[in-house]
Amino acid sequence: MTIETTNPATGKVEYRHELMTPAQVDAVLAASVKAFPAWSALSLAERGKVLRAIGAELRRRREDIQRTITAEMGKLRKEALAEVDKCAGACDYYADHAADYLQDQPVATDGQRSYVRYEPIGCVLAVMPWNFPLWQVFRFLAPAFMAGNVAVLKHASNVPRCADVIGEVVAAAGLPEGVFGVLHIDNDQAAEVIRDARVAAVTLTGSERAGRSVAANAGSQLKKSVMELGGSDAFIVLDDADLDKTVAGAVASRFGNAGQTCIAAKRFIVQDAIADAFVKRFVEAAAKLQLGDPQDEATTLAPMARQDLRDELHKQVQSSVSKGAKVLLGAEPDASHAGYPASILDAVAPGMPAYDEELFGPVASILRVKDDAEAVRVANDTTFGLGGSVWTKDVERGNRIARELQVGAAFVNAIVRSDVRLPFGGTKRSGFGRELAEHGIHEFMNIKSVYIA
């Protein structure tokens, strides 16, 4: 079977890959098992040297990598370059901080000595999505490599060339053979790999449906898994918000990456006293976004990654409108292959897809509320719990509300984003486990207690 990559901006087939045979999959897993003992035995300084070289190679090839990302999933040129740079920064970060995160931790007990030790567990399978085809991978790879683990990657079917590029980068940087492997496989093959005894753990970033399947397969073999799933983040605008800053944040958070971000603001919960002013300025700012060729610097809104995703988003919009939502902007597919304009729906209410579901594209939902208590109630009225933001001139008021949000990350006067220095992940149906920071490097390690009487 052949995997084809279609350029979202042109409809042109860019790359073709054949699915791997069982023998080829077996060879990748065998190589990872073979590589693990030597890689895990290296000192942190030695692994850090390789990781820094990976970061340097990413920076050296950033223009070529950008072109691949944009051709496969349509990301704006400037956004793709920023993604490459962020991956390189993550490599440097873990090379710098792993020694602190992984040192033995003394614990006072009745023994003469007790401590907690962190040990790698082996081969970790990463099942990754297309929306950040490098960053989603490196935010797992960088800590996994520094921890002494090895990894195999099953990337999304529409970004196979990005997977190969990652393999080329780490090899050019001197990563030993077998420490990282790419699997061009379908979902049925992936389920078999998850159940393979050579795989110690699984990490997935993707949809709730994918998470259920992967977590079930991992659980059937009693394997550790980390699930970073969907989100329907609240963007709470309080009545004293700075509208200049808030509107700029709203546009960036909802329409960056063509709205195809799990932590993008999707539900704009606005207090009545400021709602009309905010909505007017939000519509005016979003209307200025230019949909077009993602390689053109004048383009400010990328196409969606695939035409079928664009069509599914439009069905959600149409359903919401049929149930009473009001179109303030956009809401009609563009004539380009996978384009969808910046769109804003008002009067969104429970029972509509725009309220109940994740809209994974450039569509904003406006929900009007009367006060702080209602804002928190509406923000938490979702099955998701990934992130949320609060916008106010009163920082302490914002902090109080942020602490009440049922999410993995709450930001005040800033858009929700992943930061290598902070743990990243969700609660409720947005998944479990954490990536990044100290918490992320510990996820795939044996946390061993040592007690000496």
Could you please report the per-residue DSSP string of 267-290? EEEEEHHHHHHHHHHHHHHHHT--
Residues 110-143: tens digit of each pLDDT: 999 999 999 999 999 999 999 999 999 999 999 9
Active-site position among 262, 358, 404, 443: 262
Q: Looking at the predicted structure, is the pLDDT value of residue 256 above 90?
A: yes
Q: Max alpha carbon distance in the chain (Å)?
A: 73
Can 228 be counted among the known catalytic residues? yes
**Cα separation of 61 and 59, whole Å?**
5
Residues 336-382: tens digit of each pLDDT: 789 999 999 999 999 999 999 999 999 999 999 999 999 999 999 99
**Cα separation of 388 and 319, whole Å?**
25
| Cross-strand pairs, 431 | 228
| Cross-strand pairs, 228 | 205, 431
Residues 202-217: tens digit of each pLDDT: 999 999 999 999 999 9
Fold of 233-412: Aldehyde Dehydrogenase; Chain A, domain 2 (3.40.309)
In the chain, CATH 3.40.309.10 sits at 233-412
Half-sphere exposure of 362 (CA within 13 A, CB side): 31
Vertex 413: Cα angle to 410 and 418 (nearest 5): 45
Identify the DSSP state of 346: E
**pLDDT confidence of residue 246:** 98
The SS3 assignment for 119 reads strand
Give residue 279's Cα distance to chain centre.
28
Active-site position among 228, 358, 435, 443: 228
Fold of 2-229+428-452: Aldehyde Dehydrogenase; Chain A, domain 1 (3.40.605)
Burial class (CB in 10 A: 0-12, 13-18, 19+), 251: buried
**Mean pLDDT taken over the chain:** 97
**pLDDT confidence of residue 19:** 96
Residues 50-99: tens digit of each pLDDT: 999 999 999 999 999 999 999 999 999 999 999 999 999 999 999 999 99
Residues 11-64: tens digit of each pLDDT: 999 888 899 999 999 999 999 999 999 999 999 999 999 999 999 999 999 999
State the sign of the Cα–Cα–Cα–Cα dihedral 74, 230, 361, 370.
negative
In the chain, CATH 3.40.605.10 sits at 2-229+428-452
Q: Which residue has the tokens 């520094």?
A: 146
Distances (CA, A) of 155 to 145, 181, 183, 194, 199: 18, 11, 8, 14, 16
Paired tokens of 73: 């999933």
Residues 138-171: tens digit of each pLDDT: 999 999 999 999 999 999 999 999 999 999 999 9
**Cα separation of 312 and 287, whole Å?**
22
**Cα separation of 161 and 392, whole Å?**
43
Can 262 be counted among the known catalytic residues? yes
